[in-house]
Amino acid sequence: MDRIKLNDALDVSRLVYGMWRIGDDADTSTAHVQNKISACLDQGITTMDQADIYGGYEAEEILGNALTPGLRNQIEIVTKCDIVAPAGRYADAKVKYYDTSRAHILASVEHSLRLMKTDHIDLLLIHRPDPLMDHHETGAALDDVIASGKVRSVGVSNFRPYDWDLLQSGMKNKLVTNQIEMSLLCHEPFTNGDLAHLQRLAVPPMAWSPLGGGVLFDSAIAALRTKLAEIGADQGVDVAAVAVAWLLAHPARILPVLGTNNLDRIKQISDADRVTMDRVTWYELYTLALGHEVA
Ligand SMILES: NC(=O)c1ccc[n+]([C@@H]2O[C@H](COP(=O)([O-])OP(=O)(O)OC[C@H]3O[C@@H](n4cnc5c(N)ncnc54)[C@H](OP(=O)(O)O)[C@@H]3O)[C@@H](O)[C@H]2O)c1
């Protein structure tokens, strides 16, 4: 498994394991979560993606309960903050909102450290752009959590280029990634400037829901599914590995964040790095995803 350097303090595995659905699994036992992490490590997937809000603010604790010191040292933890929804510790919130204030960021980091039983977060992301963000305040808070040693690196998620530029202008440290939705079912970032912006900055993006949250294999375009299956059969890999390889083929150095709860699929999807995806094949899939040939 390739590794990608995000800055001098942090490199991550090319495939990232996402824990949004960890609480939805029928089995959330410590042993099963440890098995999932081991299944990832067996494939060279060392980077785990979390957020304070996952599982109604409980997913970080499910991970924390499974993290022995030995396991913690083998992984990088990504987590996120700023979404406040009426659940868990915010059950009294009157409305769902975003909070990029200094007080919220500092408090959220403390919760994440405590719940995951760790002394540092490898990468903290601002989860969603906040219309009320004061970039000087948010930027200084992010610089401060790095200075304190509690967070090694910071980035964002779901930011448009102008949101990124605004926050970056209020900070000393460089933002190291933008985690955005990208897949054969969500390909707008390839043409709307989101990827171009990150490529110009040489910042590798993370792709959330790289299989469209599973829709790719369910209700999505039948011809696309057939083509993915054909390529998979030719190359001896699962269809999901082909869909992920489509993202890996892009020169932006996309880091897909996998969401499967299935131990076998962690291995199957990891075959993505041995799929050959030439330009014509990439465009065949893109054409089917678009529903028409390119102009
Ligand atoms: N930053 C953000 O705003 C944001 C938003 C959403 C998600 N995320 C991150 O991105 C991660 C991945 O998102 P995601 O879970 O939507 O990713 P995904 O990998 O696109 O979708 C995972 C879903 O697809 C299903 N699936 C996988 N392979 C399949 C196959 N061959 N056939 C049928 N179903 C299949 C999985 O079911 P099984 O479990 O049964 O395999 C699971 O329900 C999350 O865990 C989270 O870390 C971030």
Structure tokens at 126: 């601002």
Say which DSSP state 170 is in.
T
Q: How far is the CA of 8 from the centre of ligand 1 (A)?
A: 29
Does 117 score more than 70 pLDDT? yes
- Report angle CA 160, 189, 295 to the nearest 5 degrees: 135
Give the type of residue at 167.
L
32-59: per-residue pLDDT in tens? 999 999 999 999 999 999 999 999 999 9
Which of 17, 45, 209, 215 is the best mutation target for the ligand 1 pocket, counting ligand atoms within 8 Å of the beta carbon and taking the most?
Answer: 209
70-105: per-residue pLDDT in tens? 999 999 999 999 999 999 999 999 999 999 999 999
Residue 54 is a catalytic residue: yes
Per this entry, what is the length of the chain?
A: 295
Mean pLDDT for the stretch of residues 154-163: 98
Asked if 273 and 235 count as a contact pair (C-beta separation under 8 A), the reply is no
Structure tokens at 35: 């098995």
Q: Which of 271, 267, 247 is nearest to 40 (CA)?
A: 267
Give the separation between CA 224 and CA 291, rounded to whole angstroms: 9
Asked if 50 and 116 count as a contact pair (C-beta separation under 8 A), the reply is yes
Does 252 score more than 80 pLDDT? yes
Is residue 64 very low, low, confident or very high in pLDDT (cuts 50, 70, 90)?
very high
Phi-psi region for residue 212, left (φ > 0), alpha (ψ -120 to 50) or beta? left
Q: How far is the CA of 260 from the centre of ligand 1 (A)?
A: 5
The pLDDT of residue 219: 67
Return the number of other C-beta atoms located less than 10 Å from residue 286's C-beta. Answer: 16
Domain covering 3-176: architecture: Alpha-Beta Barrel (3.20)
Query: What is the value of pTM for the model shown?
Result: 0.97
Q: How far is the CA of 133 from the centre of ligand 1 (A)?
A: 29
Name which residue sits closest to atom 42 of ligand 1, judged by CA: 260
- Enumerate residues lining ligand 1, CB below 6 A: 18-21, 49, 157-158, 179, 208-214, 217, 240, 257-262, 265
Which of 35, 75, 265, 270 is the best mutation target for the ligand 1 pocket, counting ligand atoms within 8 Å of the beta carbon and taking the most?
Answer: 265
Does 150 score more than 70 pLDDT? yes
- Rounded to the nearest 5 percent, the helix, strand and coil shares of the chain are 45, 15, 35
Give the type of residue at 44.
G
> Strands 97-98 and 47-49, how do they pair?
unpaired
CA 204 to chain centre: 11
- From the candidates 54, 98, 162, 283, which is the catalytic residue? 54
263-277: per-residue pLDDT in tens? 999 999 999 999 999
